């Protein structure tokens, strides 16, 4: 699983082009992989941000926020990941619907891109709304522009586009035109806020959930989420779900479950880097 190319998209966010012909052959928008970068390495789920069946490559985007993801982002062109498991998950359904709004927050652009691309290819009008903390954290802007009829931006600090949250852009867009569906990917609070707006306007919304995962094949139960009052496994039933039915409060609590252990691992990592 050789890294053919590597590009830093934003501070701490790296894009890898990986030689993975068998995965590329079967990949569809919405699929993800589980990566181990070294023996005994943590299993990291990453969405397939793009794939090229002819070249036999897949594109992965990784944000270095924990010990393992920081180590992954230090890997170089020519290095190889130990193993990649995938494609996993249920592909996102692609239909010709009319106008579809694609909403991304932060790193959510990477999983959103293949969906926007497929929706655009299927003949939909794609309006993309992309939010980030600040201008330098906006990623894949050229790629999103190429698969969208229109792109609007927001930044929390006002350094680019609308000053504020991406939900304000969504509210504005929904009051301007008839929309068939919304697709939202990003941090859980952002997706929850986006669903709230979609409900106000009575527009269907699909969200892509980033629950904690271990095996990625429906066996451990680690990624369970409640959707419409029923337990679902994000790794096999999702990661895309009807946003109106997702219990976001529970998802947020489950995501924070290992917060202390993550902090501890990062602390140890910093001490190792400092040689202590």
- The rounded distance, in Å, linking the Cα atoms of 160 and 138 is 9
Q: Read off φ and ψ for residue 156, nearest 5 degrees.
A: -60, -35
Applying CB under 6 A, the span of 140-148, 183-191, 197-205, 220-228 interacting with ligand FES comes to 220-228
- The rounded distance, in Å, linking the Cα atoms of 16 and 108 is 16
Query: Is residue 88 a contact residue for ligand FES (CB under 6 A)?
Result: no
CB of 243 to ligand FES, least distance (A): 19
Query: Is residue 223 a contact residue for ligand FES (CB under 6 A)?
Result: yes
Query: Is residue 97 a contact residue for ligand FES (CB under 6 A)?
Result: no
CB of 227 to ligand FES, least distance (A): 14
Q: What angle do CA 68, 69, 73 make, to 5 degrees?
A: 120
Query: Is residue 188 a contact residue for ligand FES (CB under 6 A)?
Result: no
Query: Is residue 29 a contact residue for ligand FES (CB under 6 A)?
Result: no
Query: Is residue 46 a contact residue for ligand FES (CB under 6 A)?
Result: no
Q: Mask: binding to ligand FES, 102-121, rule CB under 6 A, as x and -?
A: --------------------
Burial 79-108 (b: 16+ CB within 10 A, else e): eebeebbbbbbebbebeeeebbbbbbbbbb
Among 214, 245, 266, 269, which residue sits at the site for ligand FES (rule: CB under 6 A)? 214
Is the separation of the CB atoms in 33 and 23 below 8 Å? yes
CB of 190 to ligand FES, least distance (A): 22
Three-state secondary-structure class, residue 97: coil
Query: Is residue 213 a contact residue for ligand FES (CB under 6 A)?
Result: yes
Query: Is residue 221 a contact residue for ligand FES (CB under 6 A)?
Result: yes
Is the separation of the CB atoms in 46 and 62 below 8 Å? yes
Applying CB under 6 A, the span of 93-101, 165-173, 215-223, 265-273 interacting with ligand FES comes to 215-223
- For residue 264, give the H/E element and its range: helix 259-273
Among 81, 113, 165, 233, which residue sits at the site for ligand FES (rule: CB under 6 A)? 233
Alpha helices in 17-63 (DSSP H): 21-26
Q: Mask: binding to ligand FES, 235-274, rule CB under 6 A, as x and -?
A: x---------------------------------------
Which of residues 13 and 209 has its CB atom nearest to ligand FES in the complex? Answer: 209
CB of 223 to ligand FES, least distance (A): 3
Q: Which residues pair with 153 in a beta bridge?
A: 130
Other C-beta atoms closer than 10 Å to the C-beta of 209 total 22
Closest Cα to residue 34, out of 90, 91, 84? 84
Three-state secondary-structure class, residue 77: coil
> In the numeric block, which tokens belong to residue 163?
């000053």
Query: Is residue 82 a contact residue for ligand FES (CB under 6 A)?
Result: no
Q: What is the DSSP letter of 206?
A: E
Binding site for ligand FES (CB under 6 A): 213-216, 218-223, 233-235
């Amino acid at each position: 699983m050789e890294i053919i190319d590597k590009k830093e998209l934003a501070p701490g966010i790296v894009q890898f082009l990986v030689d993975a012909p068998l995965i590329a052959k079967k990949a569809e928008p919405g699929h993800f992989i589980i990566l181990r970068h070294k023996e005994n390495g943590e299993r990291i789920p990453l969405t397939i941000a793009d794939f090229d069946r002819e070249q036999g490559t897949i594109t992965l985007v990784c944000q270095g926020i924990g010990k393992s993801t920081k180590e992954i982002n230090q890997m170089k062109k020519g290095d190889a990941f130990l193993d990649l498991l995938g494609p996993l998950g249920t592909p996102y359904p692609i239909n010709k619907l009319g106008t579809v709004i694609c909403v991304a927050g932060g790193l959510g652009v990477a999983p959103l891109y293949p969906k926007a691309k497929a929706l655009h290819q299927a003949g939909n009008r794609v309006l993309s709304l992309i939010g980030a903390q600040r201008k330098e954290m906006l990623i894949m802007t050229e790629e999103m522009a190429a698969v969208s009829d229109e792109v609007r931006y927001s930044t929390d600090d006002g350094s680019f586009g609308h000053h504020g949250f991406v939900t304000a852009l969504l509210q504005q867009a929904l009051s301007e035109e008839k929309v068939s569906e919304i697709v939202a990917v990003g941090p859980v609070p952002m997706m929850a806020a986006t669903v709230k707006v979609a409900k106000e306007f009575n527009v269907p919304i699909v969200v892509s959930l980033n629950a904690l995962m271990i095996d990625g094949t429906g066996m451990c139960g680690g990624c369970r989420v409640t959707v419409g009052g029923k337990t679902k496994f994000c790794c096999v039933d999702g990661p895309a779900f009807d946003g109106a039915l997702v219990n976001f409060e529970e998802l947020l609590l489950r995501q924070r479950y290992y917060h202390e252990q993550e902090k501890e691992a990062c602390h140890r990592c910093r001490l190792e880097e400092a040689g202590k």
